[in-house]
Structure 1
Amino acid sequence: MVRISDARMSGTSYGACVLHVAPESWIGGPLALVEDGDSIELDVPARTLTLHVPEAELARRRAAWHPPAPRYARGYGALFAQHITQANDGCDFDFIEAGQKIDDPEIH
């Protein structure tokens, strides 16, 4: 079994995990369209996840998807929801980002 998440995963200390999938399901990312029983292929060397669902079915799911209501209308929670970038962009506040991209380090 492989656990796949677009968030933190507390208590996971064994087995294969794919974390911080982006874009997040909260904003309509691919994980928002996954349903029980769907087949997902993980190709680690290619760094890809493939959801094996026909495009017509994915289109139906996208059309039926609605974003969740914001949990916070003010304060840090609202600031976080409105301005934190996705994991692939560094999970930083969008208003303090640097002007240049930095390559990912090689991980061995």
Structure 2
Amino acid sequence: VLHVAPESFIGGPFALVQDGDMIELDVPQRKLNVLVSDEELARRKAAWVEPAPRFTRGYGAMHQVHVMQANKGCDFDFLQRDGTVESGEPEIH
């Protein structure tokens, strides 16, 4: 497993994992599960606190705010196209 998204840092499901929890990996079914009851996960989620930003300026801060999750390409959100497709080559002068 290279990466799980959404990341635990932003409150993804694996933010709730604690030492000693059993995790089930089923490669053929492409599943990764924390073997903890729904009630316990709800309790942990209610107690979860978002970590403070590590960086307040510069590239680190820009990365924290604008880099998308792995399942969305790990690209800066402001570099994404708006969905339109350009046709042909640009005019060269």
Q: Same fold (TM over 0.5)?
A: yes
- State the aligned residue count: 83
Q: Please give the alpha-carbon distance, in whole angstroms, between the structure 1 residues aligned to 2:45 and 2:67.
A: 23
Residues 1-108 of structure 1 correspond to what in structure 2 (within 5 A)? 18-99=1-82
Q: TM-score, normalised by structure 1?
A: 0.72
Share of identical aligned residues, percent?
65
The residue identity in structure 2 corresponding to 1:59 is: A
What residue ranges of structure 1 are gaps of 5+ in the alignment? 1-17, 101-108
Is the strand fraction higher in 1 or 2?
Answer: 1
What residue ranges of structure 2 are gaps of 5+ in the alignment? 84-93
Is the helix fraction higher in 1 or 2?
Answer: 2
Runs of 4+ in structure 1 over 4 Å off: none
Q: Please give the alpha-carbon distance, in whole angstroms, between the structure 2 residues aligned to 1:99 and 1:43.
A: 36
The residue identity in structure 2 corresponding to 1:56 is: E
The residue identity in structure 2 corresponding to 1:48 is: K
Aligned with 2:43: secondary structure?
Answer: helix
